[in-house]
Amino acid sequence: MTLSDVRGHSLDLKGIGHAFGTTVALDEIELAVAAGELIALLGPSGCGKTTMLQIIAGFLRPSKGEVRFDGARVEHIPANRRRIGMVFQNYALFPHLSVFENVAYGLRARKRPNAEVAAKVEQMLGLAQMAQFARRLPGELSGGQQQRVALARALAIDPGLVLLDEPFSALDKNLRLDMQIEIKSLLKTFGVTSIIVTHDQEEALSMADRIVVLNKGRIEQIDSPDALYDRPASLFISSFIGHTNLLRGAVTETDRVLLDAGPEINLGRSAQRRRGTAVTISVRPENIAFGAADRPGAIPVTIRATVPLGAVSVTEVLTTSGEAVKISQARAATTTKARAGETAWLAITDTSRISIFSTPADGVQDHQQRSV
Amino acid sequence: MSPADTTASRQLLPALPLAALFFAAFVLPLTALVLVSLFRDPQFSDLSLVQYVRFLSDPFSLKVLSDTLWLGAEVALATLVLAYPLALVYVASGQFMRTLITFLIMLPLLTSTVVRTFAWIVILGRDGIVNSAMLSLGFWQAPARLLYTWEGMVLALTQIQLPLMALPVINSLLRLDGNLTRAAEGLGASRARIFITIVLPLTLPGAIAGWLLVFAAAATAFITQTLVGGGRIILMPSYIYQQAVGVQDWPFAAALSLIFTLAVTGIVFAVGALSRRFVRGVDAA
């Protein structure tokens, strides 16, 4: 059997809802995952993503709705007969078994002959670059090595679906990106359908083909990483995915918004809201720059601080209406050497990349804080 | 005396009362026991190792020792077999059931051993609860002898010592990471396989701790052995009592005590050391 023959399941969730007592954890979940796709479930803690994972894995039976693998309903099938590979947050390696026996566990549970087990385990450990550690105990491995073993163990049973629960949260920040790239390429080599649960938007952006954003038990948006960043469906997503600047204002003309911070800006398209509607616009830090005072749409601000971050430098400023704004510039291109306390003017580089949302009744403050 | 020494001795000061008690109530009597065991005869006339030679060359004495150790091992095994299902139920239960089970486990520890032993005499006696129930239900034609038997003694000791096993086993089961059993389940293992390959090895330190506690407690349980065994079965505790109080052979009784103490602690250390070699990668409980 060659690796390319291994095909993942397609997965469909239809009308999934789940409640713990009177607390609704998930509601009206609709999701279709194609075979071989890598999906991230992204959301803040308590958004229902772990509940969703447990329902897919079969550790939890949903209160309502259907779970389908390759079109067939599986809610009644227990976890140990679902052919799912799980990678846990703490890896959950069996501490009393060697690396070899950890990877062999699923095959032994299926009572495969010893020769087949040995061959398969060696193949998996080779792919995970862990062959020389076969006889070690998990406690004798580093975090990254433990994670490789956990993934090898999950993939050894030829799963139709791999579920990864916050797999990188226990790793050093430096190691994290390396492991993300390595694991993504392993999952893609296997062509296995994968679902990764995370609260870390960078992890979701770097790993997934598509990202499912969950908030308060509901799906807010399902889209590719780029689409999610460029065209967020809600104020929540615009501040949850990447950094953004939120500016309050009101619609004055079909295509114009008067900002509380001063100027009226031309959106270049319809705001799709009635005149006088209170709106919040979201401008990414790289879409805003210092400009001349007399330029149309220039926003007067006071400089607070500049932070050099390697390739870019980030300057934080305060508008006259009290909104904090971050401007990201390539360091080489930094023309304005602004000092704290000085006044400067900002201009939005590309107004077509502004996202516009109705200002919620409870204000935007809590959304903004979550993005920090 | 350097400053470091003074701080060290100041820090040890609060331990003095306990050390004094330990010395007076343990070290002194044990020393006396060793001394007494070295006399040739009950008249304390001459020093010799004759009491130990007498024990080791006497098949009856050796049989009493091996029976006693065997009793401890058997009771410890019985409590182990009973404790796992109990602990599994406990771990799977909600808060209310857990409190209830804890209370039921602790209850025997709150009553005197004498009371519990007499309760077993009432249950196992010729006109006891078991016999009258089995007779009136027609299962047995004649009352069976349950009291003053080896099995009756094992049964009573198992119930009485169960808390010593249940508590460490429950404790190590509670510390077992739920993701490990979930991982095993996700990999396709049946519940039986998960128990044998994951739960049992990882809770073994607790089980061994419980086994050793029950072993030592059951082997030395003078009251229960004597009352439920009823003098028909001679075991080390009653043998020592008989030699000391009945026959007034204090040197031999002292030698018996020391041999018994060494045998029990020897087994405790041997089992502990052996288990550490087999249980790899598991934190000791």
Amino acid at site A172: D
Q: Rounded to the nearest 5 degrees, what angle is found at the Cα of B191, between the Cα atoms of B187 and B197?
A: 70
Using CA atoms, how far apart are residues A215 and A199, in angstroms rounded to an integer?
11
Using CA atoms, how far apart are residues A47 and A165, in angstroms rounded to an integer?
14
- Tracing tokens 């072993």 back to the chain, one arrives at B215
DSSP of A214-235: EETTEEEEEE-HHHHHHS-SSH
Using CA atoms, how far apart are residues B179 and A79, in angstroms rounded to an integer?
13
Yes or no, beta carbons of A96 and B190 under 8 Å apart: no
pLDDT band of A366, cuts 50, 70, 90: very low
Using CA atoms, how far apart are residues A94 and B202, in angstroms rounded to an integer?
9
Largest CA distance in chain A: 79
A121 to chain B, closest Cα gap in Å: 14
* CATH number for region B49-278: 1.10.3720.10
Return mean pLDDT, chain A: 87
Amino acid at site B41: D
Say yes or no: A170 contacts chain B, CB-CB below 8 A.
no
Say yes or no: A80 contacts chain B, CB-CB below 8 A.
yes
Provide mean pLDDT across the span A196-205. Answer: 90
Domain A243-371 belongs in CATH node 3.60.15.10: no
Amino acid at site B118: F
pLDDT band of A338, cuts 50, 70, 90: low
Identify from B187, B203, B208, B276 which residue to disrupt to test chain A contact, counting A C-beta atoms within 10 A and taking the largest count. Answer: B187
Using CA atoms, how far apart are residues B74 and B143, in angstroms rounded to an integer?
26
Q: Torsion over CA of A279, A202, A12 and A188, rounded to 10 degrees?
A: 150
- Give chain B's length: 285
Side-by-side strand order, sheet with A84-87: A84-87, A161-165, A193-198, A38-42, A210-215, A218-223
Identify from A94, A102, A111 which residue to disrupt to test chain B contact, counting B C-beta atoms within 10 A and taking the largest count. Answer: A94
| C-alpha distances in Å from residue A114, one per residue of A74, A108, B47 | 31, 8, 65
| Partner-chain residue, chosen from B193, B202, B281, that has the shortest CB–CB distance to A109 | B193
Going A89 to A151 to A221 to A314, the CA torsion angle's sign is positive
Domain residue ranges in chain B: 49-278
Residues 6+ apart with CB under 8 A from A93: A102, A138, A146, A149, A150, A153
Yes or no, beta carbons of A109 and B190 under 8 Å apart: yes
Q: What is the pLDDT of residue A367?
A: 44
CATH 3.40.50.300 intervals, chain A: 3-230
B185 to chain A, closest Cα gap in Å: 5
Q: Which residues of B touch A106 (CB under 8 A)?
A: 187-189
ipTM for this prediction: 0.78
Identify from A96, A103, A140 which residue to disrupt to test chain B contact, counting B C-beta atoms within 10 A and taking the largest count. Answer: A96
Yes or no, beta carbons of A97 and B184 under 8 Å apart: no
Say yes or no: A173 contacts chain B, CB-CB below 8 A.
no
Domain A3-230 belongs in CATH node 3.40.50.300: yes
Q: Is B12 helix (H, G, I), strand (E, B) or coil?
A: helix
**pLDDT tens, residue by residue, B30-74:** 999 999 999 988 888 888 889 999 999 999 999 999 999 999 999
In the predicted model, residues of chain B with pLDDT beneath 70 are: 1-6, 279-285
Pairing of strands A278-283, A245-253: antiparallel
